[in-house]
Chains A and B, each alone.
Chain A
Amino acid sequence: MTVASLFRKWNAFFFEPASPTPVALYRILYGIMNFFNLLLLAPDWMAWYGPHAIVSMATVQRLHPSTRVNLLPFLPQTEFAINVFFWAFLVLCVAVTLGCMTRLSMFLLYLGLASMQSRNPYILNSGDTLLRVSGFFLLFAPAGAAFSVDRLIRIWRGKEGVAVPLYMPWAQRLIQIQTSLVYLTTVWWKSFGPKWVNGTSVYYALRMREFARFPIPDFLVYNRYFIRAATWGTLVTEFSAGVLIWLRDLRYYVMIAVVCLHAGIEYSMNIPMFEWITVSTLVTFVYPEDLARFWARVRAWLLPLVGDMRVVLYDPLLTPSARMADVLRAVDIFGRLQLVDARSPEARAPGSGRSPSVGKRRILVPTPGGLRSGFLALVAISPVVPALWLLAPLSVFSRGGGHPSGATSAAG
C-alpha cells in the first residue's frame, strides 16, 4: 500500500458523495430517543435539575470546575424557568425529528442535552453519553437532507429537485467510528476482568437485584453453559460490532447479533433507553441502496393497506404547479400518486389511465379555484400520503373537490 493509495482510500471513505438517507433516518431516531428520554425523566425534572435539586448547582460546579457546555447556570433558578427549558427541549426534539430548521434545531438540542448532562452528571448511563457524543457529530451531518420538512421547503422554493442530493459522508463516518469504538473499548475494558474471561459475568449481572427488570427463570441463571454462552457471546458480539461490522459481507449479520444482544439486555436489565439509543445508531451503518431496497419491500407489503392510485394533474408551465408536483413526488413514499402533465394527451382523456384504478380520481394542481379547492385536493389524496394523514379523516366528507371534469381541483 502506498501513501497515494491510502490517501485515495481516505478520500473515498470520508468524502465520496453518498446518499444522506441513513443519517437522515438516524436524525429522526435521534429526535425520538431524546424525546422519550426526556419524557421518562419528566416526573423528576425538578428533583434532578430544579432550584432545590438533589445535587445542588454549587456542588456540581465545585466538583467539576472545568469548562463544559452548560446553559442551566445562566437561567433563573426557578421552577418556572427550568420547566420552560425542558418544554423547549421537548419542542426541539420534535423539530429535529421532523427536520424543521434542522441544523439550528440540532444545535440547540445538543446545547440542551449537554447542559442537562453537565448540570447533573450523577444520573447518567451509557445511553446518555452515546446520545451526547453522537449528537455532536450529527451537528456536522446533512441530517436534514432527506425525510425532512426542510427538504420539502427547498423543493417548494425550487432549490432542490426530487432526487435527494448526495453529500460527503464524513460526519456519518464519525458517528459510525464512534459507535464502533464504544463496542471495541468496552471489550478492551472487559478483557481485564477474570469473570468475563472465565465466562461467569452474565450470571452476576442477572443476579443483581438492583438491575432486575423482567424475570429470568432460574434454570437459565444457574445454567453454567447458558451463562458461558451469554458471557462469551457478549464479548464476541461487541468485538464484531467494533471490527467485523466494517466488512460489507458481514455487516448485517453483525448488526442482527448486536440487536439480539441489546434485546436480551433490554428484557433482563433495567437501564432506561440505553439499548434503544445504542441500536438506533446502527442505522448509520446501513448502506443507502439497501435502505431503499428494504423500504421497497416494506412498501410492497403495505400497499394493499394504503389504497388505490390517485392521479394528480399539474401544469408544468406554471411554477407553483410544477413545484407542488415535486413536493407531492417527494412525500409520496408509497408511490400512490401518478403525476400527469395536465397538457398531455393522457390528461385530456379522462379514465384512460395506465392501470384500472388510475383515472378514477383526478386532481389538478393548481387551478384558479384558490386555496379552498387546493385544500380539498390535499384532503382527497391524504389517505395515500402519510405526510397528509392528519387530513385523512376529512376525506370521508369530501368527494374530491368537484372539478368540472370529474377531477378534484387544487390551487397553488
Chain B
Amino acid sequence: MPSASVPDHTNPVRSPELTPRRAIITGFLLFQLFALVITVIPPGRGLLTLAKIAVGPYMRIVGLSQSWPMFSPNPPSMDTYLQAEIHYRDGRTKQWKFPIPADYGYFRRYTIERYRKWANDNVRPPSSRAVWPDAARYVARVNDTLGVPPDTVRLLRYWSVISPIDSGPPKGPMTWQHALFYTYPVKPADLR
C-alpha cells in the first residue's frame, strides 16, 4: 500500500534475469494468444475450424472455453417462458410457471435470473432435448405437495412476438401462443 509521503527506501526491480524463463513465458504467451484468438472468433470454415478443434481440448481443460455472441447475431424478437402442466394420480391438474424474474421484486429478480437462463436458454430450445427429463423431474419434485404423487409432467413453451418499433406501444395485454413440447411419465424414484 504505497503512500505518497513514504520515503522510497528501495525500489527492487524483479526483472527476469534468466533468459530461459523469459523464453518459456514467451512460448506460453504465443500459444495462449493463438488459442485465445482462435477460440473467440466466430465459427468459420477450413483452417479456422481445424484450429478450433486443435485448441479446444486445452481451452476446456484449463477452463478457458468462451464465446461472446451476446444478443447476436440479433436479439430475440419474442418474449418467452416455460410452463409445466402436472397431472396427478388422482386426476387433478396443476399449472406451474418456471420462475420469471419480472414476476418478482427488484432484489429477488436479480437472483431468480438464473432460473430464466436455465429455462429459457437451456431447456426451451429444441436442441436441449437431452435436459428435458431433468427439467421434468425437477418440476415433479417441487410440485409433489398435494399428498398425491404427480403422474405426468408436460412442458409447454409460451411465446409472444415483439411487434416492430413502428407499431408503437401495445394497445392491450400481450398475446401468448403456446405449444406442448415434452411429456414425462413420473417414476416414484424421481420424487426422492
Apart from the given pairs A17-B13, A122-B118, A163-B9, 14 other A-B contacts in the complex at a CB distance below 8 Å = A41-B114, A66-B57, A125-B113, A133-B66, A166-B12, A181-B40, A186-B70, A189-B70, A193-B74, A195-B75, A201-B71, A213-B106, A326-B9, A335-B3
Distance of A114 from chain B, by nearest CB (Å):
4
Kindly state the separation between the CA atoms of A190 and B73 in the bound complex, as whole angstroms.
Answer: 5
Distance of A136 from chain B, by nearest CB (Å):
6
Kindly state the separation between the CA atoms of A41 and B42 in the bound complex, as whole angstroms.
Answer: 31
User: Which of A203-211, A374-382, A404-412 contacts the other chain?
Assistant: A203-211
Between B2, B141, B192, the greatest number of chain A beta carbons within 10 A of the residue's beta carbon is seen for: B2
Instruction: Indicate if the CB atoms of B64 and A133 lie closer than 8 Å.
Output: yes
Residues of B near A129 (CB, < 8 A) are 66
Per a CB cutoff under 8 Å, which of A59, A211, A224, A332 touches B165? Answer: A224
User: Which of A71-79, A170-178, A361-369 contacts the other chain?
Assistant: A170-178
Kindly state the separation between the CA atoms of A82 and B113 in the bound complex, as whole angstroms.
Answer: 22
Closest to B57 in A: A66
Residues of B near A387 (CB, < 8 A) are 1
Instruction: Indicate if the CB atoms of A136 and B63 lie closer than 8 Å.
Output: yes
Known: A124-B117, A204-B75, A205-B71. A292 touches B33 (CB 8 A): no
Kindly state the separation between the CA atoms of A292 and B138 in the bound complex, as whole angstroms.
Answer: 52
Convert B37-77 into 0s and 1s, putting 1 for each residue whose CB lies closer than 8 angstroms to a CB of A: 10011100000000000000100111110101111111111
14 contacts between A and B (CB under 8 A): A15-B25, A54-B138, A67-B60, A114-B63, A132-B64, A133-B64, A136-B63, A161-B11, A163-B9, A168-B25, A170-B29, A174-B33, A190-B73, A334-B3
Distance of B187 from chain A, by nearest CB (Å):
14
| Contact of B22 with A by CB under 8 A | yes
Distance of B35 from chain A, by nearest CB (Å):
11
Instruction: Indicate if the CB atoms of B113 and A271 lie closer than 8 Å.
Output: yes
- Which 8 pairs of residues, A with B, have the shortest CB-CB distance? A193-B73, A161-B10, A189-B72, A335-B5, A192-B73, A193-B74, A122-B122, A114-B63
